[in-house]
Amino acid sequence: MAADLGELLVPYMPTIRVPRTGDRVYKSECSFSYDSPESDGGLYVCMNTFLGFGREHVERHYRKTGQSVYMHLKRTVKEKATGAAGGAVPRRRNGKVFLDLELNCDFNGDDFEYEDEAKLVIFPDHFEIPLPNIEELPALVTIACDAVLNATSAYKKQESDSWEEEIQVSKHARSLRQQDNGVRIPPSGWKCSKCEMRDNLWLNLTDGAVLCGKWFFDGSGGNGHALQHYRETNFPLAVKLGTITADGADVYSFDEEEAVLDPHLADHLAHFGIDMLQMQKRENGHTDNEVRPRVTEWEVIQESGLKLKPVYGSGYTGIRNLGNSCYLGTTMQVLFSIPEFQRAYVGNLQRIFDYSPLDPTQDFATQMAKLGHGLLSGQYSKPPVKSELIEQVMKEEHKVLVWHQQKGISPRMFKALVSKGHPEFSSSRQQDAHEFLLHMINLVERNSAGSENPSDVFRFLVEERVQCCQSRKVRYTQRVDYLMQLPVPIEAATNREELIAYEAKRREAEEHMRTPPDAVRAKIPFTACLQAFTEPENVPDFWSSALQAKSAGVKTSRFASFPEYLVVQIKKFTFGVDWVPKKLDLSIDVPDFLDLSRLRATGLQAGEEELPDLTPPIVIPEDTTDSSMNNFMDSPEIDESSVMQLAEMGFPLEACRKAVYYTGNMGPEMAFNWIIAHMEEPDFAEPLAVPSIAETSPSSPSQAPSLDNQPPEESVAILTSMGFPRHQSIQALKATNNNLERALDWIFTHPDSEEGSEAASDMADTEPNDNAFSSANAHSDSTLSPDQDPVGPRIKDGPGRYELFAFISHMGTSTMSGHYVCHIKKEGRWVIYNDHKVCLSERPPKDLGYIYFYHRLSSS
């Protein structure tokens, strides 16, 4: 028999590989579907590429590549047999076959066991060789099979790579001596004992001093009094207040200069009157030790306490939370509820799969089609059969039933692809759903060259009108955008008196170290938000071409076109004193039907006079010689204190220097915003390169390009150094919001743009983009027309009347923490998507949403 197997495998030996260091073994998920070893057909792993395929897709891979040898993995989940005393008999068969394969968390390990099977399958005849079969298989095949079975799962390896180095136990934890000074820490109302800081506070575990931090590993700001206290006392360990839960807390060692673990933390905290085991931790990692409304937004948004009815089938499949990945799940649920996205990816599923590259895990269209099919097919959202339901009810295990049946799909492969190279989305930290939505729109656009672009449904034109307050002359420009950002005028709150009274009580409670009152949520009319959106805003550092000098200028924005799908973001987040984004607690009466027709742009009106298209002069001090100016350009003045504050937050030093320089030394907050806006650029961490005088100085006014919304000269220089014409480089940067990587893609996908007019390409606006719109893909060509510009983006205009069909809600105090859920209206009823759980909504909390999605009503 051994000789027979050896002879059978001889023709395939050259195609069988042993996984090398760096090879990813996809043995837990199919590349084209969400089949796994636990699926009915199991999973097939190619013994050459180590890609995984479900039963429906393995034949395609065989036909495309000719690879014939696959390892078939099958896991069967069974209830454990019970002993005579009624207890579960712990046993597990073939326990090492799937070494390092994740266990299914849907099943309680005390009640279920896993029976694993593995075998080699040779295509096309489906000849099977059971494993292990060491004595009968050639040595190379045995080594390869053993390596695949014991290899780290591709996703588990990636997750470990995304985390920072493992936190170690502090050398001071066991021997820490605490002072018996009678200090007791109250549950709230903390502030630094040396200043008035009330955020980013650290409790020293030796003497109980509460002090503010500065440069700790989480990037928070402060005055550094905790570090100063250590230098004075040598008391090494501190715990961050606000992070304490029954599972642990953030502990820092000043002596070891890193985050550490304290196995005795419960005892150390009890010394100061803190019962760590009684601290509550909310779902999805949010700590419940903050001031909250009487009825929390967590309860309202998740519709807690209501008996929500689970729904199953097509369009009702949940997405598992991989750990702070709910921002991704909610965004993709909404996108794939839009027909254009369904048609582009799921409608073209077979074509996309048939023409996918040899490594489909790295193909955007393939993974989008895979995710869309997983959500819309109903294959992974099946209702329990009647017998299972009766059995579970009899066992009073209803909770287990819901988790078991509504397990949803796990977007590990998708997240790995769309977050690749992104410093934030590739991490395991919570992110802003608004930023991820724009990130996805960018990816869809970049990967839709020559094919249907479903993100066209979000695109619209913004008309910006800038007026010089002194000359009264105006300039009209247009640009492309993808969402509308609504400001929130707190002063328009209908319960303003109640808010003032609450704030007074809160301050009094903090001063006297008493329990704070129940928080009051501001109630803002939606009409007030719209009104704030339409108000003119001042243009900082406005240079009037009519006066040839700086002057006061105001800007208003209107819709030059209305998109098919309107995305409205409520600007709930602001920056706290520690620079961490914090959320305003708001309730806004967002309407089901929205008419924005009155916000339609009008263009240049009769009697208005346009501002001349002139360039602001470059001011050079009269006593500056060419030599000294060159030295200045080589070594520009940079506020090093701002640079260090940003660097202490973990950003690259050179990126911090560029941020401070390009924001004109306006302070760390402005530079921080610059960093957030430019983190995706390939030269983000490259050294600062200041353009020379010759590059930035026009030879004559007639040749000078307008600086209105002009792309950064250093970005233009990078593209021109690659051989692209200057006017084409400027046009590409304008069309991609000055993103170098996307501008390069734009040039390659718009070869005809090289023939365009250089003069027309150099036209721009004097003012920065309006914050009322997202500026996801700014385009400043004032002559832009959806019908006339052959290289411009597609614009689908229509009436400005909309109906709400979905909204994403955020729970928590910051985009860096908390949890997201979404509500989508399907078949005339609202459905709540809370990770893998999908239920009919009883009370959709429309007033507490963060991002709202409207579809355009037909003109009839």
Catalytic residues: 326, 819
Crossing angle of the two packed helices 726-735 and 740-749, in degrees rounded to 10: 110
DSSP letters of 24-92?
Answer: -B--SS-SSSS--TTSTT-EEEETTT--EE-TTTHHHHHHHH---EEEEEEEEEEEPPB-TTS-B----
C-alpha torsion sign, points 204, 210, 214, 220: positive
Q: For residues 270 and 183, what is the distance between their CA atoms, to the nearest angstrom?
A: 11
- C-alpha distances in angstroms, 700 versus 81, 614, 703? 89, 11, 5
Please tell me what DSSP assigns to residue 362: G
**E strand or H helix at 265, and its extent?**
helix 265-270
572 token code pair: 């709930």
- Among 99, 113, 93, CA closest to 145: 99
Residue 93's beta-bridge partner residues?
115
Crossing angle of the two packed helices 668-678 and 653-662, in degrees rounded to 10: 110
228 token code pair: 């100063």
712 token code pair: 């950064």
Residue 117's beta-bridge partner residues?
74
Dmax of the chain from CA atoms? 99
Radius of gyration of the chain from its Cα atoms, rounded to whole angstroms: 30
Say which residue the tokens 């360990």 belong to: 237
Are 544 and 550 within 8 A, CB to CB? yes
Contacts 24+ apart (CB under 8 A), 257-261: 258/167, 258/168, 258/217, 259/167, 259/216, 259/217, 260/167, 260/168, 260/169, 260/170, 260/173, 261/167, 261/168, 261/169, 261/170, 261/173
Q: For residues 785 and 797, what is the distance between their CA atoms, to the nearest angstrom?
A: 11
Q: Which residues contact 359 (CB under 8 A, 6 or more apart)?
A: 49, 51
Which one-letter amino acid corresponds to residue 147? A
DSSP letters of 659-684?
Answer: HHHHTTT--HHHHHHHHHHHTTSTTT
- For 706-718, give one letter per residue: b (16+ CB within 10 A) or e: bbbbbbeebbbbb
Q: For residues 263 and 269, what is the distance between their CA atoms, to the nearest angstrom?
A: 12
Are 464 and 765 within 8 A, CB to CB? yes
Q: Which residues contact 744 (CB under 8 A, 6 or more apart)?
A: 719, 722, 732
